[in-house]
Amino acid sequence: MTIRHLTHRRLATVLALAACAPAVHADNAASNLRPSGRFSVRPVATAATPPMGWNPWNAFHTQVTEAKIMAVAQVLKSTGLADAGYRYVNMDDGWWLKRRADGRIEIRTSMFPSAALPDGGTSFRPYVERLHSMGLKAGLYTDIGRNACSQSWDEHGANLPVGTRQEREIGTYGYQAQDMRLFYGEWGFDYVKVDACGVADFQAEKPFVKDGTYRALGPYMVRNRPDLSEPKVVERLYADLRAAIDAVRPDGDFILSICNWGEVHVTDWGKDYGQMWRTSQDISANWWSMLHNFDSSAGRALYAGPGHWNDPDMLEVGLGEFDADHPVEARAHMSLWAIINAPLVLGADLSKPAPVVLDIIGKRDVIAVNQDPAGNQGVIVARTADTEALVKSMAQAGTKALALVNRSAHPQALSVALARLNLDPAAPATMRDLWTGQERAVERGVISAELAPHETRLLLVRGLPELKNGVYLGEMPARINVAADGRTQISALRFASWVPAQVNASPAGTPLMVGGKRRDNGIGVLSDSRLEVRLDKEFSRFRTVAGANDDTARPLTFRVYGDGKLLFEQAGTQPVEIDVPVRGVDTLELVVEGKDREAGVVLATWADARLMR
């Protein structure tokens, strides 16, 4: 929303929230392109691998109780799921009773009887300590605005906050420091999910605002209308929340889960404040909803890594079209979440789990793909209208996870050459099906599969790396940070569907091109972008062919920096070969700058970008 569309009162609010925001991203393209000399992602304190756990929302909504949660916690322990990694036992909307005059939130003790204290107050400390005593971690839920999602979307539902209008304002807006001291400090929670309905769904024209039930706020986030949203305001609120958490947990031992459904450019700034952020709307227990949410994260490998993860929402295994009667779809869902490093947060009622559901969610070989310590999200290497293949580079050299996906309701055949996995097609290679355990040799350098409707085959492939003494940048997305993405060149609506920096594809999702030639390996970016690559002094040379991503000459300037020192610079309209020494360098930075007065947008490619040891 532009300033001229704001009322004077809302303008004052926006300016107040956006002021004095050192962590909040600036729009000044020139300053964003200056080298930082360092890898600027926060050091990993927790969530070095994607968080795993359980959330009651998809099974119980606001009808959750302490007894229901503890029944699932016992199953996590007794079945070995906790030992497999599912340790965060979370809760969602509906737990609060009201906010007292002193700002403290009271707990609904009819749902959580252990919260009742002898003095008439309430505390979640006994509940949290019970989970901790079981070797589990505890998660809570809140909102970035004044009110929660249930108050907007379930107006007549059970377990809504009670009391006066002010008492029913149980979101963190205006109470960030007090609530974080309560949640992470006094109560001892390890994980807090922070929703955003409070800044999206309480606009002045809503009936429940007009009648005085709730106060208006924003909207600072207009769903599916990024051109009308105010990203800096929402970012500022999450920045303030993170600062409040840091004051309580300076050791960084916590998780902040940002839930604003991929809106307001959260992929730009989510990693600065949270360990995970939603990339899509809420998931439903049907095939097409699952694929939609998967797609929202699948192209964003460069935005995730240890301590900061794309989150396409909870696992629906055990529910709807992924229940015990749909094992093919359930395994596909689990496989896709595993290969894109999605947080594995279960959503079904596990108090009486079906054996096939337990087998799927507890499959250690599949979980190991998700939890691989390198933290590289899988990247798409082949795609048709009905099929796709994703490859994830594992920590062990020459080892790849490969997902062969049939999105359709009809059988499909799919083949992928070893070369697309950056493995030597002339060298011996093996592949193991992680669901069946069957292992066999790869024949003639090609992996082929006949896929049943909705089937995903998840394979672990071992071979000889194609680069004998190096690695392509696309094989190590967890070590790349998109420090500036050039998005000011494109409209907000286009930005919602493009990914400004992608592995093996342009921001528009089209194939990589340089000098009229298609390139299978590389990073596609917008001009006015800067990538930070964490080298840790492990490499000796950087090599690439850089140019505009089409057959029309576009004026671009390419720069390469090592620890802030300029190593290469060249401007022009033709592709340029770059080969620079990087021995002893911790952080490599790749900058492309340029404008097109007619087109306005310039797509650029770092083709065959690779690091040699």
For 536-556, what is each residue's pLDDT tens digit? 999 999 999 999 987 666 789
Predicted confidence at residue 6, as pLDDT, reads: 35
Please report whether residue 480 resides in a domain.
yes
Predicted confidence at residue 599, as pLDDT, reads: 59
Residue that finishes a domain, picked among 399, 430, 462: 462
pLDDT tens-digit readout, 60-103: 999 999 999 999 999 999 999 999 999 999 999 999 999 999 99
Q: How far is CA 501 from CA 235, 282, 549, in A?
A: 21, 24, 13
User: Which parts of the chain register pLDDT below 70?
Assistant: 1-30, 493, 551-553, 596-600
State the CATH number of the domain containing residue 558.
2.60.120.1060
Please report whether residue 192 resides in a domain.
no
CA dihedral (521, 526, 528, 531) positive or negative: negative
Q: Evaluate whether 411 touches 386 at the Cβ level (below 8 Å).
A: no
437 in the same domain as 398 = yes
Predicted confidence at residue 494, as pLDDT, reads: 73
498 in the same domain as 443 = no
Apex CA 496: angle with CA 491 and CA 342, to 5°? 150
| Number of domains observed in the structure of the chain | 2
599 in the same domain as 491 = yes
CA distance 84 to 333: 18
State the CATH number of the domain containing residue 437.
2.60.40.1180
Please report whether residue 250 resides in a domain.
no
425 in the same domain as 453 = yes
Active site (catalytic) residues: 195, 282
Please report whether residue 596 resides in a domain.
yes
604 in the same domain as 490 = yes
List, as one string, the DSSP characters of 158-210.
TT---SSTTTT--SSTT-HHHHHIIIIIIS--SEEEEE-GGGTSB-TTSHHHH
Residue that finishes a domain, picked among 462, 493, 517: 462
Predicted confidence at residue 516, as pLDDT, reads: 87
Predicted confidence at residue 25, as pLDDT, reads: 63
Please report whether residue 388 resides in a domain.
yes
Residue that finishes a domain, picked among 431, 462, 493: 462
Structure tokens that stand for 312 in this block? 């396409």
506 in the same domain as 405 = no
pLDDT tens-digit readout, 310-366: 999 999 999 999 999 999 999 999 999 999 999 999 999 999 889 999 999 999 999
418 in the same domain as 484 = no
CA distance 97 to 215: 18
Note down the domain range covering 574. 470-612
Predicted confidence at residue 596, as pLDDT, reads: 65
Please report whether residue 429 resides in a domain.
yes
Please report whether residue 400 resides in a domain.
yes
Q: Evaluate whether 194 touches 143 at the Cβ level (below 8 Å).
A: yes
Return the closest-CA partner of residue 606 out of 266, 584, 568. 568
Predicted confidence at residue 597, as pLDDT, reads: 56
Return the closest-CA partner of residue 420 out of 518, 279, 531. 518
Predicted confidence at residue 108, as pLDDT, reads: 97
601 in the same domain as 508 = yes
Q: What kind and span of H or E run contains 449?
A: strand 446-451
601 in the same domain as 484 = yes
422 in the same domain as 395 = yes
| 129 Cβ contact partners less than 8 Å away, ≥ 6 residues apart | 188
CA dihedral (299, 477, 466, 368) positive or negative: negative
| DSSP summary character for residue 55 | -
pLDDT tens-digit readout, 128-151: 999 999 999 999 999 999 999 999
487 in the same domain as 603 = yes
Predicted confidence at residue 215, as pLDDT, reads: 97
Please report whether residue 299 resides in a domain.
no
510 in the same domain as 455 = no
